[in-house]
A and B are shown apart, each in its own frame.
Chain A
Amino acid sequence: MNVGFSFKEFISSKPGLKYLFFGGKGGVGKTVVSSAAACLLSELGFKTLIGSTNPVHSLSSAFDQDFWGKGITPIKGAKNLYALEIDVSKTVGRYKDDLVDKISMFLKYADIPIKPGPFVEVATTNPAFEEAAMFDDMIDVMLKGEFDVYVFDTAPVAHTYRLLGMSKVYEAWLAKMIKSRQEALSLRLKLSFRKEKVAKEIAEDPLLKSAIEMKKSTDMARRLLTDPERTAFFFVTLPLALPIAVVERFVTWVKAFNIPTGGVIVNCVVPKEKFDLEKASPYLVHKIEEQEHYLKVIHEKFPGEVLAHLPLMETEVRGLEMIAHLAEALKHPSRA
């Protein structure tokens, strides 16, 4: 079996690494593993932020501290480690208000006497809008640059995929919007008698300005997200068929978006050396045999990319101490 790097060695081999994402099937331990990774990075001396846009208050549960909607909060008991649990509904609300403003402006320019409220409601009451808001929240945090390293506990896989997809749609839409706005404005300039006044108005066109601003920040985000020196996407799986299948699919998606991949982390591995398999119940023996089979499958499917086996703990993972314990396991290469 190909053992390869440990997670920690991977980190050391990429001194410019700044943005770490964790994805995988629902419930496999993304929150726990990304928390452990953030904990390790903070121990290594990096000022680290662990962020989540998941509407479930998962970081708060994992650390057993309340971060929900409180902005960037230092994690009690840790050094260099901060948490951020973003309430996306707030961002969505802000966007709606902003959209109402912009569309009102647009309708005013076009002399159309209708209220935009209902349109905005229809256009924004859908999951894609929420995902776009999550994506923007994440990008905002990334671009502020107050931390050495950013770790993102991402939402489940289908979500993340659409999130990545959205950024492309978004970009295409913005490019189109900017172009048509420019055309409309230049037409106005040509037809106008008071060219100077109109030229000044165009230079200050609020719609165009904000579209260009938005495009600038998505361009920037795309550059960061596709830079293999700075960004890595990690996949969390269990030693079971369904989560492995999700990772395989996810790897192709992420690659299609040119997002650099970091490696695979296997969570909830039963430490078989703790059992006397001669005396254990057939049920347990069977479970462990199954696990060993899937561990082999994982190493075959992702040769040299399996960065850690994290042990299944005696209890669920709650609190910094247990997270720090799992962070320890990220220092060791996966066992053969």
Chain B
Amino acid sequence: MQQRYMDVIRKEFGPLIVGTVPMFDREPKGLAMMAKVAEALLGG
């Protein structure tokens, strides 16, 4: 299902997508986790 909606999002918003953030194996809380989110966002 996620793949299907990812395709929809790519089709509808293609050039507007500036990053994707994965679902982490724990809720992002605290500075260390935020750094991870930022890294993912910046394509690291």
| Chain A residues engaging chain B, CB cutoff 8 angstroms | 240-242, 282-283, 286-287, 290, 314-316
Contact = CB atoms under 8 A, between A and B. Distances in A.
A316 B27 contact: no
Interface string B1-30: 100000000000000000000000111010
Contacts of B26: 286-287, 290
17 contacts: A240-B27, A241-B27, A241-B29, A242-B27, A242-B29, A282-B25, A283-B25, A286-B25, A286-B26, A287-B25, A287-B26, A290-B25, A290-B26, A290-B27, A314-B1, A315-B1, A316-B1
Contacts of A290: 25-27
Nearest to A288: B25
Contacts of B27: 240-242, 290
Contacts, number: 17
Interface of B: 1, 25-27, 29
Nearest to B23: A287
B37 to A, nearest CB: 13
A187 B20 CA distance: 68
A41 B20 CA distance: 40
B12 to A, nearest CB: 16
Nearest to A243: B27
Query: Nearest 5 A-B pairs (CB), nearest first?
Result: A286-B25, A240-B27, A315-B1, A283-B25, A290-B26
Nearest to B26: A290
Nearest to A315: B1
